[in-house]
A and B are shown apart, each in its own frame.
Chain A
């Protein structure tokens, strides 16, 4: 049997699925043996995101916290039956979203996810004044104020990571949950649509708006960093 590799961090070259499933199998075995440290590590890994996602369904932070804790109990209860057909992470978030939906409807706070629109619905992804007029004879709709390349060292700095985190937290609900599940947790589009009960198109629209806003926030921030050569 191939030894499992620890998946320590997400990166652009995400660990292949088989590696994640191997790591999951070992982790589930530890949990079933009653390994408290393993459980706390799992909680550390996912709890805050679970609260953030639950917040999209219920009326308050406190309720979101309750939902997340309820979900952990559900995870433990279901653990003996977990067969590893999906990743542990997908499974945990599916339990979480089910708890959140059911608590949301009990609290009568639930809206269909797709109805979580906001005043920014019609905002262009980039300020219109950064483009040349559409009736211009030579460069209709071209950049008048083009984006400047970002230096890698700024992009990957802790400061930028924190900025992106804050930008995500500041997003309207709907956009926040989708970008969290897709880009932070790297779940697939299909999984996220199923969990949130939205169509692929709807999911993509929310994802697009979220990413556009986050990119703009990073750009604003890095603009103050001086010229990148």
Chain B
């Protein structure tokens, strides 16, 4: 861990405030402090990447188990009723 860049943010704190960072909810100073830490700390860079990967995988189209035919039937009925109009 480099001592060249002054860094008062602990790794333990980084994992607690990472969501504020990713959400863009930090003040410019807080963001600078956070990014400063990342420059010097490879494990925290890994952690941030893991968090980004986690978010990305969450957004993958979920593997559907399928909607029960009875539900589909009920909804199709509702659609046909609506189509017919008042």
Interface residue ranges, A against B (CB under 8 Å): 9-12, 34, 36, 39-40, 43-44, 47-49, 65, 69, 72-73, 76-77, 79, 124-126, 128, 131, 134, 139-143, 146-150, 155-156, 158, 160-162, 164-165, 168, 179, 183-184, 186, 189, 200, 204, 207-208, 211-212, 214-215, 218-219
Picked from A69, A72, A204, A219, the residue with its CB within 8 Å of the CB of B20 is A204
| Known contacts A72-B78, A124-B16, A156-B57; A204 and B43 CB within 8 A of each other | no
Q: How many residues of B contact A (CB 8 A)?
A: 45
Contact across chains for B75 and A161 when beta carbons are under 8 A apart: no
Q: Which of A12, A141, A214 meets B11, CB within 8 Å?
A: A141
Distance in Å: Cβ of A221 to nearest Cβ of chain B: 11
Q: Please give me the 10 A-B residue pairs with the lowest Cβ-Cβ distance, nearest first.
A: A141-B10, A146-B43, A208-B19, A141-B12, A183-B58, A76-B82, A143-B43, A215-B54, A131-B12, A34-B83
How far, in angstroms, from A161 to B19 measured CA to CA in the complex? 21
Whether A77 contacts B82 by the Cβ 8 Å rule is yes
CA distance A148 to B53 in the complex (A): 13
Q: Which residues of B contact A179 (CB under 8 A)?
A: 58
Q: How far is the CB of B5 from chain A (nearest CB, A)?
A: 14
Residues on the A chain within 8 Å of B59, using CB: 10-12, 183-184, 186
In the assembled complex, the Cα of A207 lies from the Cα of B58 at a distance in Å of 12
Tell whether A44 pairs with B58 under 8 Å between CB atoms, given A39-B76, A139-B1. Answer: no
Determine which of A147, A168, A204 lies in contact with B58 in the assembled complex, contact meaning CB atoms within 8 Å: A168
> In the docked arrangement, what's the CA distance between A164 and B62, Å?
9
CA distance A165 to B58 in the complex (A): 7
26 A–B pairs (Cβ distance < 8 Å), ordered by A: A9-B60, A36-B80, A48-B65, A65-B71, A69-B75, A69-B78, A76-B79, A76-B82, A77-B82, A126-B12, A134-B12, A141-B12, A141-B13, A142-B41, A147-B46, A147-B50, A155-B57, A160-B57, A161-B62, A161-B63, A164-B58, A204-B20, A208-B18, A208-B20, A211-B19, A211-B55
